[in-house]
Amino acid sequence: MSVPGVLNDRYEIGELLGRGGMADVYKAQDTRLGRAVAVKLLRADVARDSQLQARFRREAQAVAGLNHPFIVAVYDTGEHITNDHVRDSAHLPYIVMEYIHGRTLRDLIRSKDINIEQAVNYTMGVLAALDYSHRAGIVHRDIKPANVMVTEDDHGVLGQVKVMDFGIARTIADSAATMTQTQTVMGTAQYLSPEQARGENVDARSDLYSAACLLYEMLAGRPPFTGDSPFTVAYQHVREHPALPSSFNPEISPALDALLMRALEKDRANRFQDAAAFRRALRAASAGVMPPEPRVSQAPIPAAARLPSTGVVSPSPSSVLTDDDGPSTRAMAKELAGGALTTNDGGFEEVPDVPPSTKRRRTAWMVTLFILLAAVLGGGAYLGYNLLQSRPPAVQPVAVPFLVNSPESEALNQLRDVKLEPHSTEEYSATVTAGQVIRTDPAGGTSLNPGSTVQVYVSKGPSTVTIPEGLAGRTDADVRALLSSLNLKIMPNDMVNDGSIAATLVVTTDPAPGETVPAGSSITMKVSNGEILMPSLFDLTDDPEQVKEVVTAALKAVSPFLEVTFSEAENTVVTPGLVTGQSISAGTTVPQRTTVNVTLAAAPVTVEPPAAEPTPEPTPKAKASEKAQPTATPDPPAGDSGKGQ
């Protein structure tokens, strides 16, 4: 079947992003909201398997309920009905998810672009996502670098992690490395928990083991176990202990070494029991504080049970050996029997009788052994009688340490040092810093018998949080870290126009700084996009003498980064000196550092006619000449002839 072009008359399917055993992931366009999304679509070749369809729908319903900033958001679910004229139509369920622009941790690890601080921060985000999903009853089962993305902006700056792929689709590059059993994904070998490798049921602690493998690889540049095949690696997860990550990266602190060894314990009872505890210990270890010891100590793995990296489990000495097991197996049976058995035509029979001298030596050894055994038993009986008759020594009580305002990890270690069993509970406190002890029950100074349980109440910070003032002009990372430390959830940024704040710096928050909100509230940071709206510069004043000053002030009020120049143009209508034009129209979005030219009216230039030249006075000689000449008598006009005669 071909891939549908449009789902639900809304999602236009684009390029293929990933492919797994059950579903494919495509980039798509949400035509209704005009945004890019990722669509996970059940493959047509498995669509008629009712069990797979039911599993996909259950997964879609579960993941659709997750809403966390460190988990890829799910926007919509639905079902596409194919129109196959050759075969019956099929129902293809799909999930519409947030499309993330960024890089996977696998790509960052391969390019060696992760330092220790970033590795800790990324793991903290993954653990926060797992804590949320585990509380919602969902176990990821396949935490690995390829399933964790780090967002990236247009400038290549990396942001926060996004956990994706909750057990349905697999990326194309990792499909070959995924171990499956009857079409049920068990996990990727290099990040497989021991219980997954043994085929046991998994729980939240299995995800934490995989998260520890993820942190190990980011710190050391390689996974904790490697091998020629997935089965070899899975065997190592069950039987072998990983090398300290500092043996591959000397910059790793002993506290991080100890934390990873605790998190990679074979027995899940010895690991961190929930993501919140792992996260707190990781935060403390990054500051150099050693993690607490596990409550249950794990017995060392016998050397005889370890094998070379073949992935084959050795038979135990109690294995049943038959004639069909071959010469080497029969030789092993003979060796285990201490030479008391031998083979005859492929079977087993007793060894022939030994000489009398040998029998006498054996009898003497048996008598000696019997005497020694009797002495030991007698001494043991006597000692046991005395122990039963004697009173047990009085139990020496221990005092509960004073732990108020101590860091949680330090407080738990102090209780264990005096042989008390700590149990921590988080609650809000307006006076005690988050992560520190509010009180203990019993209180400090109380005498208890060793092994008694002490309840430790750890602060989650205040139940309400006041958003700090003075965030404007600070970097995204700075404000994000500050708000996260106040137990606030950071939503995706909202880019806004602001003339006074440079691009990529924080303008404000929603809710605004100074407001008081419940702990754990979602906060949106408004970040400057470096652009402004050009204002209108007309009719700001009627005084030509103040125009330049008023226009400059109006632009600086919009943005101190705007520049202005002035020019003049003749205008017969507008009063000279007033604004007649601006080079950038009002309402236009422009970068902050833009220069606008303002045109001012100039009076038209009037051209005066040339002045008449004066008639020069005649010289004396000319005057005499004029007198010498006879004066002509003009002719009388017509009609006047004869008058006056």
Q: Where is the binding site for ATP, in residues? A: 40
Q: Which residue has the tokens 């092994």?
A: 451
By C-alpha distance, which of 410, 412, 414 is closest to 423?
412
Count the neighbouring beta carbons within 10 Å of the beta carbon of residue 55.
Answer: 17
How many angstroms separate the CA atoms of 520 and 465, rounded? 9
By C-alpha distance, which of 33, 35, 55 is closest to 46?
55
How many angstroms separate the CA atoms of 160 and 178, rounded? 26
For strands 158-163 and 148-152, give the pairing: antiparallel
Q: Is 432 left (phi over 0), alpha (psi -120 to 50) or beta?
A: beta
Residues contributing to the annotated binding site: 40
CB neighbours of 75 closer than 8 A, spacing ≥ 6?
A: 30, 37, 96, 97, 98
Asked about 353 being catalytic, the answer comes back as: no
For strands 522-528 and 494-496, give the pairing: parallel
CB neighbours of 41 closer than 8 A, spacing ≥ 6?
A: 3, 7, 23, 24, 25, 26, 80, 92, 93, 94
Q: Which two tokens stand for residue 540?
A: 């700001």
How many angstroms separate the CA atoms of 186 and 197, rounded? 8
Residue type, 197: A
Among the options 142, 165, 207, 498, which is catalytic?
142
DSSP state of 475: B
CB neighbours of 437 closer than 8 A, spacing ≥ 6?
A: 403, 404, 405, 406, 407, 408, 411, 456, 457, 458, 459
How many angstroms separate the CA atoms of 633 and 38, rounded? 117
Residue type, 320: V
The interaxial angle of helices 254-263 and 275-286, nearest 10 deg, is 160
Q: Which two tokens stand for residue 255?
A: 């506290």
By the 8 A CB rule, do 414 and 406 touch? yes
Residue type, 189: A
List Cα–Cα distances, 218 to 9, 78, 149, 288, 530, in angstroms. 43, 37, 14, 18, 35
Residue type, 570: E
* DSSP helix, strand, coil percent of the chain (3-state; round to 5): 35, 25, 45
How many angstroms separate the CA atoms of 598 and 583, rounded? 6
Residue type, 638: A
Positions marked active-site: 142
